[in-house]
Structure 1
């Protein structure tokens, strides 16, 4: 079941080619639409994606990144770090509830 992302919060949706993404993170203090672009680097600590939002005047501003990690059993997963303007949000990306689109992931905060 594909979902209409205009109704969602706290998600990242990867493009089918995995070169770009869009999403939203929200709380009682902020509601930020984000975009992202794949990033290549020889630095093993570099993010896999750079994340951007719009400034109050509509200019693109880099606000964070998404890193590709491996769990203990060798499976891949993604973590996200974003400067929300109210502090730093750290989160994992996981399956979005109630859907079967593997490109649509939930933002699952952690401290």
Structure 2
């Protein structure tokens, strides 16, 4: 996965991934959140500062589509810009836990 960009991999209650543009290239990690609030994110996302400190940069929400199926959305503050995106199947990959970051803005 070292060559992949703009992906999220969900492995149980852990997240790994990358979010990149011409302005930034962030490796991200995440962890599940337990909440009774149906509008709360299901994962917290973290990045690292230039000095290597772990900071929270956003979250992932689980939502329902028009047909009642589940899908995920992502919102992050990269430090350069805010990104809102849907997560969908990563092209050319068979791993269903590997999701593409599809910007909505």
TM-score over 0.5 (shorter chain): yes
- The Cα shift of 1:86 comes to 1.2
1:87 and 1:44 map into 2 onto residues whose CA distance is 27
Corresponding residue number in structure 2 for 1:104: 98
- The Cα shift of 1:42 comes to 1.1
Corresponding residue number in structure 1 for 2:85: 91
Gaps of 5+ in 1: none
2:73 and 2:34 map into 1 onto residues whose CA distance is 16
Corresponding residue number in structure 1 for 2:56: 62
Corresponding residue number in structure 2 for 1:43: 37
Secondary structure of 2:2's match? helix
Corresponding residue number in structure 1 for 2:2: 6
Corresponding residue number in structure 1 for 2:76: 82
- The alignment's TM-score, normalised by the length of structure 1, stands at 0.92
CA offsets 1:37-84 (integer angstroms, 9 cap, x no match) = 010111121100000001111111000000000001100000000001
Gaps of 5+ in 2: none
- The alignment's TM-score, normalised by the length of structure 2, stands at 0.97
Moved over 4 A (4+): none
Corresponding residue number in structure 1 for 2:46: 52
Q: Superposition RMSD on alpha carbons, in Å?
A: 0.6
2:87 and 2:64 map into 1 onto residues whose CA distance is 13
